[in-house]
Chains A and B, each alone.
Chain A
C-alpha cells in the first residue's frame, strides 16, 4: 500500500528531472534533435523549415543558392524518417504515401532517394555539395554541416 503510493511520485520526479534536462539539453544524455545537413563544401549555411519541406515534397528542385537539390531519405522503417516529416511537413507516413502516389502517377516527380544507413548518407552528402539529408545531432561530423535544427 505504502510502496504503491510512493511509486507514482518518484516517476513524476524522474520525469520532471529528465524533462528539464531535455529542454536545457546541456549534456549528451539529453535527447538529441534531428538536424538537416549539407556538405561542408556547400555555400548554404542555413535553411528554413518551409524551404526543406518544399524540397522534400518536390515543390521545388532548388537549394536556396539556386543549385539543383538532391534530397536523401532514411529508410522508412526508422523512427528518424517519420519524425523528420512530422516536424517539417506535418504529414504522417500514410499521408505522405498518399501524397507521393499523386505525384508519381501523374509523372510529376519521383520521391527522394533512400539510403539505409547514416554513414552512407553522410558520405554521399560530403561528396555532393547539392545533396541534403537529415541525421541525429549526435551523428554530426566535420564532413557535413547542420543548416537547420529540428525541435
Chain B
C-alpha cells in the first residue's frame, strides 16, 4: 500500500517536472523575464540492514531506514521550489521552499532561504534576510540531488554543522586575478532550528567567513564559522567550525575532499571529520567511491552524547538517463567505533554501541 502510494507520488512528481521543463523551455527566449521559477527534487528509497536503530540521512530527521521502516521513502526524498525576482538591475529577491522529512518525521515544507540582494557592482553583493551558509563545499546546495555526485552529502562531515541558513546579513566580494576568481563572503546573523524531539534550538551571534578560489576545473574553499548555541536544556554552548575543501572537476573524472574541525562546548565531544571522493565519467554513467570519517576529540559534555564518530565507505553510480534527470544507486557501509552510536537514531531494544549497517539507496533526481 505504502509502496503503491509512493509510486503514484513519484509518477506525479515526474510528470509535473516534465511539464514544467517544457514550459520553461518555451519562454527561455528574448528578454529575460523578471521572475524565474525553478525547482528540484529527489525521489528515493533507502534501506538499512541494521534493525535496532534508524539510519537517517540528515541529523535533523527523527527517523529513517532500519528500525522504523525496512525501506524508507522519506529518508532521502525532497522537493524544492524557488522563485527569484529581478526587481531592478541592482535589486533581486529569492525565496526557496524545500519539503523533506523533518524533526517530527513529517514530510513538510520549510522556508529555507528568503532574502533580498543588492548588487553594488556585479562583484559586490549584500543580502538581507535568510541566507545560505556555505560551511562546506556542497552545503548550500546539499538538498539539490541533481547537483551532487552522490545520493546524499557525506554525513560524517556534513552532520558536523547541519544548519544551512542564517537570518541576518551577508556580503560577498569577488576578485579576479587573471584566470583565478576569489570570492570572499561574510555572514552575520541568528538561526533557529529543530532537533528531533520537541527541541527548538537557537544560534546567536552567527559569524561566518568564507573564501572560495576557482580556476578552471579547480575549486578551493576555506571557511570559519562561530556561533552561540542555546538548547532548551543545558548550558550556552560556543560552537566553532574550521573547514577546508578542494574539488577538481575534469571532463572525464572528478576528485573532491573536505576536512573540518568542529567544537560545541558542553554539547558535543568535538570532531575532526572529512571525506574523499572520486568518480569517472563514462558517457552518461558516473561511478564513484567515497570514504568519510568523523573522529571524536573526546571533549567532556554537559549533556549525554554518545556519538564519538563514524566511518562511511560508499560506492555508487549516477546515470544521466534524460535531460534534467538522473538515477543513482548507492551502497554505504556505515560503522561506528566500539564506544559510539555514530549518527544512528531511534535506538531500539538490542542496540549496541559500535553498530554497523549496510545501506542501499536508489534515487531519481530532477531539476526544472
- Kindly provide the distance from the CB of B337 to the nearest chain A CB, expressed in whole angstroms: 34
Contact at A50–B179, with CB atoms within 8 Å? yes
Contacts of B72 in A (CB 8 A): none
Picked from A105, A107, A110, the residue with its CB within 8 Å of the CB of B117 is A107
Contacts of B216 in A (CB 8 A): 50, 53, 90
Contacts of A110 in B (CB 8 A): 32, 36, 84
Given known pairs A98-B146, A101-B146, the reply for A92 and B141 (CB within 8 Å) is no
- Kindly provide the distance from the CB of B258 to the nearest chain A CB, expressed in whole angstroms: 15
Nearest B-chain residue to A111, judged by Cβ: B28
- Kindly provide the distance from the CB of A125 to the nearest chain B CB, expressed in whole angstroms: 14
Q: Does B2 contact A (CB under 8 A)?
A: no
Q: Does A42 contact B (CB under 8 A)?
A: no
Measured between alpha carbons, how far is A99 from B147 in the docked complex, in Å?
7
Contact at B249–A95, with CB atoms within 8 Å? yes
Contact at A102–B141, with CB atoms within 8 Å? yes
Measured between alpha carbons, how far is A102 from B146 in the docked complex, in Å?
9
Contacts of B32 in A (CB 8 A): 110, 113
Given known pairs A91-B251, A94-B284, A97-B367, the reply for A104 and B38 (CB within 8 Å) is yes
Contacts of B326 in A (CB 8 A): 94
Q: Which has the most chain B C-beta neighbours within 10 Å: A54, A91, A116?
A: A54
Contacts of B320 in A (CB 8 A): 94
Count of chain B residues with Cβ under 8 Å from any Cβ of A?
43
Contact at A104–B28, with CB atoms within 8 Å? no
Q: Does A15 contact B (CB under 8 A)?
A: no
Nearest B-chain residue to A70, judged by Cβ: B32
Contact at B179–A101, with CB atoms within 8 Å? no
Measured between alpha carbons, how far is A23 from B29 in the docked complex, in Å?
36
Binary flags per residue of A47-78, CB closer than 8 Å to B gives 1, else 0: 00011011000011110000010000000000
Given known pairs A97-B367, A106-B141, the reply for A90 and B146 (CB within 8 Å) is no
Contact at B29–A106, with CB atoms within 8 Å? no
Q: Does B241 contact A (CB under 8 A)?
A: no
Given known pairs A50-B179, A101-B40, A107-B117, the reply for A114 and B251 (CB within 8 Å) is no
Q: Does A139 contact B (CB under 8 A)?
A: no
Q: Does A86 contact B (CB under 8 A)?
A: yes
Contact at A61–B123, with CB atoms within 8 Å? yes
Nearest A-chain residue to B96, judged by Cβ: A105
Size band of the interface chain A makes with B: 20 to 34
Contacts of B115 in A (CB 8 A): 107
Q: Does B94 contact A (CB under 8 A)?
A: yes
Picked from B82, B214, B281, the residue with its CB within 8 Å of the CB of A105 is B82
Contact at A97–B324, with CB atoms within 8 Å? yes
Contacts of B323 in A (CB 8 A): 93, 97
Which positions 67-90 of chain B face chain A at CB distance < 8 Å? 80, 82, 84
Nearest A-chain residue to B121, judged by Cβ: A61
Contact at B140–A61, with CB atoms within 8 Å? no
Measured between alpha carbons, how far is A51 from B320 in the docked complex, in Å?
29
Q: Does B111 contact A (CB under 8 A)?
A: no
Contacts of A98 in B (CB 8 A): 146-147
Contact at A95–B281, with CB atoms within 8 Å? yes
Contacts of B113 in A (CB 8 A): 107
Contact at A105–B176, with CB atoms within 8 Å? no
Measured between alpha carbons, how far is A68 from B90 in the docked complex, in Å?
13
Chain A residues packing against B (C-beta within 8 Å): 50-51, 53-54, 59-62, 68, 86, 90-95, 97-99, 101-102, 104-107, 110, 113-116
Q: Could you list 15 A-B pairs, sorted by A, with CB under 8 Å?
A: A51-B179, A53-B216, A54-B176, A54-B179, A60-B176, A61-B122, A61-B123, A90-B217, A91-B249, A92-B281, A98-B146, A105-B40, A105-B82, A107-B92, A107-B117
Given contacts A90-B251, A104-B36, 17 further A-B contacts (CB under 8 A): A50-B216, A54-B179, A59-B214, A61-B122, A62-B122, A86-B251, A91-B251, A93-B323, A95-B251, A98-B146, A101-B146, A105-B38, A105-B40, A105-B143, A107-B96, A107-B113, A113-B32
Chain B residues packing against A (C-beta within 8 Å): 28-30, 32, 36, 38, 40, 80, 82, 84, 92, 94, 96, 113, 115, 117, 122-123, 132, 134, 140-141, 143-144, 146-147, 174, 176, 179, 181, 214, 216-217, 249-251, 281, 284, 320, 323-324, 326, 367
Return the 4 tightest CB-CB contacts between A and B, nearest first: A61-B122, A94-B320, A107-B94, A101-B147
